[in-house]
């Protein structure tokens, strides 16, 4: 696991992720494929993501009763429970060690995906999020995300939760790694 010492003040991630980039990334591997399928909600990669998060959360030795919540998707939605990360939270909470907080942080305003040119400024993202404080109480919160590229979503999610009085640790399944010479924009060069 990477940057574990940054869990409480920035974010930690479990492994690197090399984007597919339309088949042009020679570093893209089987582990990256599982992450991509998980992100795309294809039902593939769920067990891999679950095992990775389970192991990382054990290593963090979090207090029993910590709330697991997630970075919401880009579409406004009252619930995150049926999203891939929501399914991971459900499975992790079955152990009894964690409280499922699917909807502790929800998107109340649709935003453009950051990877597709959406506004990366925290001042533009903060109003799109809402904390359901009654779902968190005074317990520590673990904010989960699938892939951190710039870390902006995690930082904004943390800020919104902390402003609501929560103690927050952030953990991503993966952090994007770029390969030299591979185009990374949303359009062809």
Structure tokens at 152: 């902006």
Mean pLDDT, residues 9-16 taken together:
89
The predicted structure's pLDDT at residue 1: 54
The more confidently predicted of residues 65 and 20 is: 65
Mean pLDDT, residues 61-67 taken together:
89
The predicted structure's pLDDT at residue 66: 94
Does this model's pTM top 0.85? My answer is: yes
**pLDDT averaged over the chain?**
86
pLDDT at 146 > cutoff 60: yes
């Amino acid at each position: 696991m990477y940057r574990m010492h940054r869990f409480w003040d920035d974010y930690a991630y479990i492994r690197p992720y090399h984007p597919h980039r339309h088949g042009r990334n020679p570093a893209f591997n089987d582990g990256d494929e599982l992450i991509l399928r998980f992100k795309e909600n294809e039902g593939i990669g769920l067990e891999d993501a679950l095992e990775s998060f389970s192991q990382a959360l054990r290593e963090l030795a979090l207090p029993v009763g910590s709330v697991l919540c997630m970075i919401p998707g880009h579409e406004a939605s009252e619930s995150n429970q049926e999203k891939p990360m929501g399914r991971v939270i459900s499975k992790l909470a079955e152990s009894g060690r964690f409280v499922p907080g699917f909807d502790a942080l929800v998107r109340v305003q649709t935003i453009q995906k950051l990877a597709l040119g959406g506004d990366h400024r925290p001042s533009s993202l903060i109003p799109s999020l809402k904390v359901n404080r009654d779902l968190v109480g005074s317990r520590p919160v673990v904010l989960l995300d699938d892939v951190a590229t710039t870390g902006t979503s995690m930082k904004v999610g943390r800020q919104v939760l902390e402003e609501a009085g929560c103690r927050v640790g952030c953990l991503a399944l993966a952090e994007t790694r770029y390969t030299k010479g591979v185009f990374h924009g949303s359009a062809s060069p």
